[in-house]
């Protein structure tokens, strides 16, 4: 007869003071369950009346006894509270590592040092752990792949084998590595689980102190894994300490509502642990399936301070996740009390400035002096940290420019001159709008956007930059690229940038000096500067190993806009801005443009209004778009993605493709106006780089990243899209189906955690938060699921560092980002180019606002191309994924077809 987990009152104590209840909803009164009990006098006695033989080795018994006796003594001592705890955080090339970094920074009182799993040699690691004694504990991150693959786990297995005297916590892949290091089997789960939640039970050990357990207790955890430790393969050294309550998984919103009336009856108190005088080992007979489909969620080593959790405590959706890290800190403090304080060599380790600085020891030169070699390893290892390794980018270039800003405001003028559309058409639409930009907030409902920025080739500071990566498709990226710059006088210079475009842009921005008082009183953050796009293939400057495909368009194009007009859609005000070098006080552009606006105010040509309204002026085109992938090919690609996910290579893959159409000569401005009419969007844009024959007509609803003047970063990823309904009732039903879709919630949650990670690289510890999670926004043709992530930028981080830390947008890659991009490169058969990149502005005073390039028509060399795709997860249906991809091409392709 099975004994209820919660009704059983007797509890047995574990080596670390926790308790294992004699029911796991699986322990039964039969001969196959053996419970072992060790007393301090080394007398072993079976607690179950039908228990089998004791199977602990003498060495393990000795360590368990010693630990139990020591803990009994410690319980009568005051807790050691360290000023800060020093953590080495080993990153397994994951996209959630910096969520752990953020939590540990707050909990430990000191940011951890982050290294990749192949940054340090074993000698490096031993030096910092045992010679310098620079760290109190180690956390091993999640990551793609399997601990059975040396390339996936790096140095972590040897660490778990040999560092038996240092507290270690492994998360997901780190948890599996702990099991595998001691002989447990890592196998495919019955089904992959990514972005879904489970309720857990646990045995009350130290790692779960204060955390409730059981059904409806609020003990929900987020899972991202396809592989698991086979519980029946656990060696005697490893103890199961947590498992799922059932085989069920739940979506975030549903389980959140269910747990709002939680009954936390399973809480384990520290007082109960203080009575710990015994330790036990539970062994399960492999011939009985006593787990009943439940999944092992955490383990601990019986003699070492090593723990592993299969779930993700750092996820936004995990309740009590931060308590796990707090408890690990307390375990570390107790370990320090037992083994004495570590002594740090002041010559090679420094904790000043609220960060850890490590200096690698070097040998003396022949003349008795030391070479000048040191590295600050607060997040930088032997190879750096890939997508965030931006050392030495913040120093200004040699040519410092002192910029001043002049501006004028015209109250309530926009509607008097016909609105933003008429203003752009009249002031910048001549000569087919060549060399112009229009960052167009054409959808301002519900405060989604407020300002539109427009301009063209103007003053003495204007320039156009075109950057192209080398043609090394399929080969490891070696850096660099070709930059062409045209200045205001039409002179062009060509340069090879050894350190790439992001480095160039960062140095250029750093060369500007300005007066903050110049833009006081302006309600927006773009005051002139760069307007353009970063293409998707620039991912190789952000950590990706290579590009499988060469972009057909330049990898980046930007104007430096020194003159611009701004429309405030909220107040109907119009602003004119002009930046100039301090030695030049000319305001001719302001005066000339003011005159044009006043003329437009007094007489708006009726013909101009009719042209802009675009009524009855198009003939449908008979030649349709041609897809890069057939329906069958796309569905086959979805299946490939699902197989990679099943094998643990990724949690989510954003699969894309493109459709193309030959168009000949076309009026790009009028095409954009047509797209704007059909699909207004808050992050829409028209960019016309006529020199390289590129015009971008964009109706994007998605913000990639924004940095405002207060130093607040914001991302608004979209994951989850469905069509609008024909009737009001159908529309509301489709909206609700999207809101409570298990698949779409899982997609969104994974990308929210990824963006929290990307912001966590560059934001102050504890500042990253999610004010809106899985909100539904409705547009002309679709409903979308949108979340908002914000954080406070660190003072010593530049705007370009922020962009580079998050590029490409996680909603267009999947997670973990680096491995996912590599897999997508192998599946997709064409470059993404401008699609999937980002476009917008970067102000000269280092604010920026960039969108994700989706719902966009790219015109280049007599061809129109449109990209589209969707996130593939374990729950994806291939047919539905294909239909969603087609839905996303509908608005831009229809605009082209009707216009052509």
Q: Tell me the sheet residues that pair with 493.
A: 485
Pair 713, 802: CB distance under 8 Å: yes
Would you call 379 helix, strand, or coil by DSSP?
coil
Catalytic-residue membership of 199: no
Which whole number is the average pLDDT over 625-645? 96
pLDDT confidence of residue 575 = 98
Q: Tell me how long the chain is.
A: 900
51 vs 227 pLDDT, higher one: 227
Catalytic residue among 156, 172, 542, 763: 172
Task: Assess whether pLDDT exceeds 90 at residue 29.
Answer: no
According to the model, what pLDDT value does residue 2 have?
37
Which range has the worst mean pLDDT, 58-62, 520-524, 862-866?
58-62
Burial of 452 (0-12, 13-18, 19+ CB in 10 A): buried
pLDDT of residue 290: 52
Looking at residue 353, what is its pLDDT?
67
Predicted confidence band of residue 870 (pLDDT cuts 50, 70, 90):
very high
Q: How far apart are the first and last CA of the chain?
A: 75
Going from the C-alpha of 308 to that of each of 206, 461, 464, 613, the distances in angstroms are 13, 57, 53, 62
Mean pLDDT of 553-567: 97
pLDDT at 664: 82
Mean pLDDT of the chain: 83
pLDDT at 605: 58
Q: Is 172 a catalytic residue?
A: yes
Contacts for 167 with CB less than 8 Å, ≥ 6 apart: 136, 137, 138, 305, 306, 328, 331, 332, 335
Dihedral pair phi/psi, residue 357, rounded to 5°: -115, 120
Given a cut of 60, whether residue 132 has pLDDT beyond it is yes
Closest listed residue to residue 765, CA positions, set 84, 81, 38: 84
Question: What pLDDT score does 671 carry?
Answer: 94
Considering only 356-360, 428-432, 756-760, 843-847, which range has the smallest mean pLDDT?
Answer: 356-360
332 preceded by cis ω (within 30°)?
A: no
The pLDDT assigned to 49 comes to 30
Q: What whole-number distance in Å separates Cα of residue 120 and Cα of residue 118?
A: 6
* pLDDT at residue 380 greater than cutoff 80: no
- Residue 360's pLDDT is what? 66
| CA 247 to the chain's CA centroid | 29
Structure tokens at 767: 């500042």
Confidence category of residue 489, pLDDT binned at 50, 70, 90 = very high
Catalytic residue from among 175, 182, 306, 312:
312
Category of 529 on φ-ψ map: left (φ > 0), alpha (ψ -120 to 50) or beta: left
Q: What's the whole-number mean pLDDT along residues 745-768?
A: 96
Set out the domains of the chain in order of their start, with CATH numbers: 87-250+293-337 (3.40.50.880), 401-611+664-711+834-867 (3.60.120.10)
Share of the chain above pLDDT 90, in %: 68
* Alpha helices (H) in 75-170, listed in sequence order: 97-108, 122-126, 150-153, 156-162
Average of per-residue pLDDT across 791-803:
97
10 Å CB burial of residue 688 (0-12, 13-18, 19+) is buried
Which residue in 314, 541, 652, 881 is the catalytic one? 314
Closest of 318, 556, 508, 309 to residue 394, by C-alpha: 508
Closest by CA position to 153, among listed 161, 142, 162, 169: 142
pLDDT value at position 228? 97
CA distance 649 to 895: 38
CA-to-CA distance for 508 and 331, rounded, in angstroms?
48
Asked if residue 544 has pLDDT above 80, the reply is yes
pLDDT digits (tens, 9 = 90+) for 224-282: 999 999 999 999 999 999 999 988 888 888 744 433 323 333 333 333 333 332 333 33
Q: Of 225, 233, 249, 246, which is closest to residue 309 (Cα–Cα)?
A: 225
User: What's residue 444's pLDDT?
Assistant: 73
- Does the pLDDT at position 24 exceed 50? no
3-state secondary structure of 827: helix
**How far apart, in whole angstroms, are the C-alpha atoms of residue 612 and residue 540?**
41
pTM: 0.85
Residue 594: both structure tokens together: 């003011």
Rg of the chain (C-alpha set): 30
**Three-state DSSP state, 700:** strand
Tell me if residue 542 is catalytic.
Answer: no
CB atoms within 10 A of CB 112: 26
Report helix, strand or coil for 570.
coil
Residue 827, pLDDT > 50, answer: yes
Which range has the top average pLDDT, 15-29, 441-455, 489-503? 489-503
The pairing of strands 856-860 and 626-627 is: unpaired
Count other Cβ atoms within 10 Å, centred on residue 29: 12
- Per-residue pLDDT at 789: 98
Higher pLDDT pick, 63 / 233:
233
SS3 558: strand
Q: Which among 551, 611, 422 has a CA at the least distance from the CA of 858?
A: 551
Alpha helices in 340-418 (DSSP H): none
Percent of the chain with pLDDT over 70: 79
Q: Report how far residue 615's alpha carbon sits from residue 651's, in angstroms, rounded to the nearest whole number.
A: 47
Report pLDDT for 666.
87
How confident is residue 606, by pLDDT bands cut at 50, 70 and 90? Answer: low
């Amino acid at each position: 007869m099975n004994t209820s987990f919660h009704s059983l009152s007797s509890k047995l104590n574990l080596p670390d003071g926790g308790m294992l209840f004699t029911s796991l909803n699986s322990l039964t009164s039969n001969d196959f369950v053996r419970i072992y009990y060790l007393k301090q006098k080394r007398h072993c006695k079976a607690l179950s009346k039908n228990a089998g033989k004791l199977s602990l080795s003498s060495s393990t018994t000795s360590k368990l006894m010693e630990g139990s006796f020591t803990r009994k003594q410690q319980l009568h001592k005051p807790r050691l509270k360290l000023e800060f705890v020093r953590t080495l955080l080993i990153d397994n090339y994951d996209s959630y590592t910096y969520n752990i970094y953020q939590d540990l920074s707050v909990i430990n009182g000191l940011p951890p040092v982050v290294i990749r799993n192949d940054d340090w040699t074993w000698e490096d690691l031993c030096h910092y752990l045992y010679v310098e004694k620079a760290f109190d504990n180690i956390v091993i991150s999640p990551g793609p792949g399997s601990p059975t693959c040396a390339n996936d786990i790096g140095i972590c297995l040897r660490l778990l084998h040999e560092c038996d005297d240092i507290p270690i916590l492994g998360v997901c892949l780190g948890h599996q590595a702990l099991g595998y290091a001691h002989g447990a089997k890592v196998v495919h789960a019955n089904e992959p689980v990514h972005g879904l939640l489970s309720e857990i039970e646990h045995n009350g050990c130290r790692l779960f102190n204060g955390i409730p357990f059981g059904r409806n207790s609020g003990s929900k955890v987020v899972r991202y894994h396809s592989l698991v430790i086979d519980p029946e393969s656990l060696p005697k050294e490893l103890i199961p300490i947590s498992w799922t309550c059932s085989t069920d998984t739940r979506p975030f919103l549903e389980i959140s509502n269910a747990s709002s009336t939680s009954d936390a009856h399973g809480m384990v108190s520290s007082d109960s642990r203080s009575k710990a005088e015994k330790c036990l080992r539970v062994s399960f007979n492999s011939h009985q399936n006593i787990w009943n489909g439940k999944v092992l969620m955490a383990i601990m080593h019986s003699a070492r301070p090593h723990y592993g959790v299969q779930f993700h405590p750092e996820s936004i959706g995990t309740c009590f996740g931060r308590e796990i890290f707090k408890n690990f800190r307390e375990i570390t403090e107790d370990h320090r009390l037992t083994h004495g304080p570590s002594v740090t060599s002041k010559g090679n380790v420094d904790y000043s400035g609220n960060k850890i600085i490590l200096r690698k020891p070097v040998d003396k030169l022949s003349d008795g002096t030391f070479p000048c070699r040191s590295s600050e390893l607060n997040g930088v290892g032997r190879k750096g940290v890939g997508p965030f390794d931006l050392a030495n980018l913040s120093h200004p270039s040699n040519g410092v420019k002192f910029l001043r800003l002049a501006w004028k405001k015209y109250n309530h003028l926009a509607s008097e001159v016909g609105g933003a559309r008429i203003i752009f058409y009249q002031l910048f639409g001549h000569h087919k709008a060549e060399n112009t930009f229009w960052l167009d907030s054409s959808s301002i409902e519900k405060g989604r956007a407020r300002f539109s920025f427009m301009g063209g080739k103007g003053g003495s500071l204007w320039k156009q930059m075109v950057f192209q990566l080398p043609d090394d498709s399929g080969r490891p990226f070696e850096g660099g690229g070709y930059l062409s710059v045209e200045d205001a006088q039409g002179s062009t210079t060509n340069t090879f940038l050894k350190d790439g475009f992001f480095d160039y842009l960062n140095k250029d921005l750093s060369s500007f000096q300005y007066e903050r008082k110049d833009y006081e009183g302006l309600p927006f953050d773009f005051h002139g500067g760069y307007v353009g796009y970063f293409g998707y293939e620039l991912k190789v400057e952000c950590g990706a190993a290579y590009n499988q495909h060469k972009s057909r368009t330049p990898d980046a194009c930007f104007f430096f806009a020194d003159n611009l007009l701004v429309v405030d859609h909220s107040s109907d005000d119009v602003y004119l801005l002009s930046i100039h070098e301090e030695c030049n006080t000319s305001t001719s552009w302001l005066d000339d443009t003011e005159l044009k606006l006043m003329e437009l105010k007094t007489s708006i040509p009726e013909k101009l209004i009719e042209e802009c309204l675009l009524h009855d002026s198009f003939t449908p085109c008979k030649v349709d778009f041609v897809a890069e992938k057939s329906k069958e090919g796309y569905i086959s690609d979805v299946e490939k993605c699902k197989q990679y996910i099943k094998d643990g290579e990724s949690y989510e893959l954003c699969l894309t493709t493109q459709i193309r159409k030959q168009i000949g000569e076309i009026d790009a401005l009028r095409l954009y106006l047509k797209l704007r009419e059909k699909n207004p969007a808050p992050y829409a844009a028209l960019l016309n780089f006529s020199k390289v024959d590129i015009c971008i007509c964009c109706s994007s609803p998605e913000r990639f990243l924004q940095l405002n003047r207060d130093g607040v970063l914001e991302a608004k990823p979209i994951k989850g899209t469905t069509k609008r309904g024909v009737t009001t009732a159908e529309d509301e039903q489709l909206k609700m189906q999207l809101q409570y879709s298990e698949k779409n919630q899982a997609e969104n949650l994974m990308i929210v955690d990824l963006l929290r990670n990307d912001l966590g690289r560059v934001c102050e510890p504890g500042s990253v938060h999610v004010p809106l999670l899985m909100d539904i926004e409705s547009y002309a043709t679709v409903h979308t699921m949108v979340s908002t992530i914000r954080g406070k930028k660190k003072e010593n981080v530049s705007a370009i560092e922020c962009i580079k830390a998050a590029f490409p947008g996680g909603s267009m890659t999947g997670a973990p980002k680096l491995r996912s991009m590599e897999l997508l490169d192998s599946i997709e058969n064409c470059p993404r180019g401008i699609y999937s990149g980002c476009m917008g502005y970067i102000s000269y005073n280092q604010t920026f606002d960039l969108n994700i390039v989706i719902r966009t028509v790219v015109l280049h060399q007599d061809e129109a191309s449109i990209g589209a795709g969707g996130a593939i997860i374990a729950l994806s249906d291939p047919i539905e994924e294909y239909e969603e991809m087609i839905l996303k091409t509908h608005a831009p392709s229809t605009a082209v077809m009707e216009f052509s």
